[in-house]
Amino acid sequence: MRQRVESEVNVKASLVAIHFEEDNCWVYNLVTKQYHFDLPERRDLLDCLIQMKEHAIANQVLEIHMPRLGAGLDCLEWKNTEQMILEVFRDQALRVTV
* Model confidence pLDDT, tens digit, residues 59-70: 999 999 999 988
- At 23, the amino acid letter reads D
Highest-pLDDT range among 16-20, 38-42, 66-70: 66-70
Domain that holds residue 79: 2-97
**Which pLDDT score is estimated for 10?**
46
Domain count, the chain: 1
Q: State the pTM of this model.
A: 0.82
pLDDT score for 15: 80
Q: Is the pLDDT of residue 3 over 60?
A: no
Residues 6 or more apart in contact with residue 54 via CB below 8 angstroms = none
Q: Which letter does DSSP use for residue 90 in this model?
A: T
CATH of the domain at 47: 3.40.220.10
